[in-house]
Structure 1
Amino acid sequence: MKTRFSIKVPATTANIGSGFDCAGIALKLYNDFIFDFSREKGLEFFGVDGRFATEDNLVYQTFSEILIAKDIAIPTDFYLEMVTNIPVARGLGSSSTCIIAGIMAANIYGELNLKLADMLQMATKIEGHPDNIAPAILGGMVLAVALDEEVLYKKIIPANMYTFIVIIEDNEVSTADARAVMPKMISYDDAVFNISRAGLLLEAFQTGDAKLLKVVTQDRIHQAHRAKLIKCYEGLQPVLASKLFTTSWVSGSGSTQVALSLKQQACEAVAAILAVSPELCVLALDVEVDMPLIEML
């Protein structure tokens, strides 16, 4: 039985405009999870936000749920150390990294020999939708649909001429709050608007076609409503509409926004955002194309 190992899971930007609850891209920003079942000190957390250093911790709950489902006893000694680079409740898939780490840890500890498809389905069931889960497990850009017993998906590697400019403000937005501001019903026209664009998301990102990217990241379902929860949204729109950027979108449920910039303009693009809002955290990231990294310690 493996007793000490680490799991590195990437951040994700989801929805990508028209791909509500089904599209996401993995980015080179990570949460690291170190597990140790040999310390004989009960339930321990290190480097974990105090709000989450309890038995309700999402990693621990996911880990326990998977073992219980497989009729395996939960270990009395559970040590979790986290190196958190992905901010919580900002629309960058922090909860997805915890769920995936919990499942992968259970798979290693319990020697379950789960297939990738099994872990994808389990994680999606816990999270409720595959938009962050699928790219975090598979890498690259993924368009996915969750069925009762499996998740169907298509993965592509986005064109490498762009840098993802990730704009993070000091403002947590929970998924529950972000869904609460959305309308209960949408019009036929708005549904067609999004569906027609979502169908071309993969083509746009795989080819890097600037005109198509502008179109597929448009949305009439969620972004205008969630923008009201983002403090810097209105103030940044003029600069994000400039020639430094190809397109932009609200990442997941917010409050993060993501914009595309040509690689040779990335530094200038970051500077332009900080000139308007110097209090923001702005990162220039590339796509993570590989699966989460597991290392035995």
Structure 2
Amino acid sequence: MSAPSSEAPAGLRPSPDLSGRAVHVKVPATSANLGPGFDTLGLALARYDDLDVSVLDAPGLEVEVHGVGEGEVPLDASHLVVRTIAHVFASRGYELPPIRLVARNTIPHGRGLGSSGAAIVAGIMAAKGLLDGVEEFTADDLLELATELEGHPDNVAPALFGGLTIAWVTPEGPRHKKLIVHRGVSPLVLVPEHEMSTALARSLQPAQVPHEDAVFNVSRSALLIAALIQSPELLLQATEDKLHQTYRAEAMPETDRLIKALRAAGHPAVVSGAGPSVLVLASDPSERVEAIRLAEQVAEGTWQALPLAVDFLGATVQPAEG
């Protein structure tokens, strides 16, 4: 627990009177790329971080973290959720009010399940809830704020809005389209003990790719949309990729071997986000069970199997009870 700097950023006015306000935020995990949809497609998954944020009566900042990240993440103004809340308040010209944050995290960190995006979205939704009736935020506002902090919208869009999202950037800002996933799609995430740096994964990408590889991914991305919303039987072909997974394989050899073994057996396996987790987009629950059994046989090291539903709601904020 510590207090932020007493010097507010230049040009900001004191926050409005938010005494007694408290909100509860729930944010889903996400998996980005989904194979061919690099930096564009994302899927919300039913594993959540829960946070309570309340306005303190006296100046200061209190941060508690339970579950994933406990004892590891900072408990001061540099905490990503706190920095995000401050960013949202500053975007409307306000100083950060004194707050108490209690986070209960279940989304693994550094595993390709959108933990940083979830923290950013949690901060945005908390600020939105605290400023309810004072400031209004459209869906585009929320996505723009999240993209400013995350750098690209493919993870924050499904975290905000749920379901399957297509995200793109226009001169006016980032935009998204939410789609409803076919009820037969049964996601499975295989999570290793080791982490992977998103920055390192992105650094392995070439600046240019062959024309035929680009065309290949355009076709597979289009097919993937159809497979996820209408024709799950096409998921194996639809999750083929030539833009990023091959280039990143050298940094994640265990992930690469597991994906190849799963795909050879007919399971639509891809790198989840920047990795090293593996996402299997099974077409029914029985296929998911078979994928878990195969992973137990061939995976090197310890991998946690997480059979997850698709989250259709996205991030939520409501007044905290009591």
Taking structure 2 as the reference length, the TM-score comes to 0.85
Aligned AA (2:263):
A
Residue type of the alignment partner of 1:19 = G
Cα offset for 1:231? Answer: 4.5
Aligned residue for 2:275?
A: 254
Match status 1:156 vs 2:179: yes
In the alignment, residue 81 of structure 1 is paired with which amino acid? V
Question: Which one has the largest radius of gyration?
Answer: 2
Aligned-pair CA distance for 1:49 = 4.3
Q: Which amino acid aligns with 1:23?
A: L
Determine if contact 2:236/2:263 at 8 Å carries over to the other structure: no
CA contact (8 A) 1:226 1:254 kept: no
Residue in structure 1 matched with residue 312 of structure 2 by the alignment: 289
* Number of equivalenced pairs: 294
TM-score when normalising by structure 1: 0.92
Alignment of 1:39-58 (within 5 A): 40=58, 42-47=60-65, 48-58=70-80
Q: How does 1:90-239 map to 2 (within 5 A)?
A: 90-111=111-132, 112-211=135-234, 213-237=235-259, 239=261
Compared with structure 1, are the counterparts of its residues 237 and 249 closer, same or farther at alpha carbon in structure 2 (3 Å cutoff)?
closer
Distance 1:27 1:39 in 2: 36
Q: 1:10 to 1:276 in 2, by over 3 A?
A: same
Q: 1:268 to 1:190 in 2, by over 3 A?
A: closer
1:276 aligns with one of 295, 298, 310: 298
Aligned partners of 1:109, 1:224: CA distance in 2, in Å?
44
Q: CA RMSD in A?
A: 1.9
Q: Name the residue aligned to 2:13.
A: none
CA distance in 1, matches of 2:252, 2:260: 15
CA distance in 1, matches of 2:229, 2:275: 24
- Amino acid corresponding to residue 266 of structure 1 in structure 2: R
Alpha-carbon separation, structure 2, partners of 1:142 and 1:34: 26
In the TM superposition, residue 39 of structure 1 has moved relative to its aligned partner by 6.0
Q: Can you give the 5+ residue segments of structure 1 that lack an aligned partner in the other structure? A: none
Question: What's the CA shift for 1:29?
Answer: 0.6
Q: How far is the alpha carbon of 1:44 from its aligned partner?
A: 1.6
Once the two structures are TM-superposed, the CA of residue 121 in structure 1 deviates from its matched residue by: 1.8
**Mapped contact 1:158–1:208 kept (Cα < 8 A):** no
Provide, for residues 215-270 of structure 1, a one-character-per-residue CA deviation record: whole Å limited to 9, x for no partner.
22111111012222224224424541355x54111111111110122213333332
Segments of 5+ residues of structure 2 without an aligned counterpart are 1-17
Relative distance call for 1:122 and 1:25 in structure 2 (3 A) is same
The answer as to whether partners of 1:121 and 1:149 remain within 8 angstroms in 2 is no
Describe the SS at the equivalent of 1:199.
helix
State the Cα distance separating 1:162 from its structure 2 match. 2.6
Identity of aligned residues (%): 33
**Contact 1:178/1:253 (CA < 8 Å) preserved in 2?**
yes
Deviation at 1:130, TM superposition (A): 1.3
Q: 2 CA distance for matches of 1:36 and 1:134? A: 25
In 1, the alpha carbon distance for the partners of 2:169 and 2:148 equals: 8
Cα distance between partner residues in 2 of 1:168 and 1:225: 20
Q: Does 1:36 align with 2:54?
A: yes
Decide whether aligned partners of structure 1 residues 79 and 200 sit closer, same or farther in structure 2, where only a CA change above 3 A counts.
same
Of residues 42-51 and 252-261 in structure 1, the stretch that sits farther from structure 2 once superposed is 42-51
Question: Distance between the aligned counterparts of 2:296 and 2:172, measured in 1?
Answer: 45
The amino acid that maps onto 2:153 is P
Give the residue type in structure 1 aligned to 2:177. K
Q: How does 1:81-96 map to 2 (within 5 A)?
A: 81-96=102-117
2:62, 2:101 within 8 Å by CA — same for their partners in 1?
yes
Equivalent residue of 2:216, what SS?
helix
Q: Name which of structure 1's ranges 246-255 and 121-130 shifts more when overlaid on structure 2.
A: 121-130
2-side partners of 1:249 and 1:229: how far apart? Answer: 15
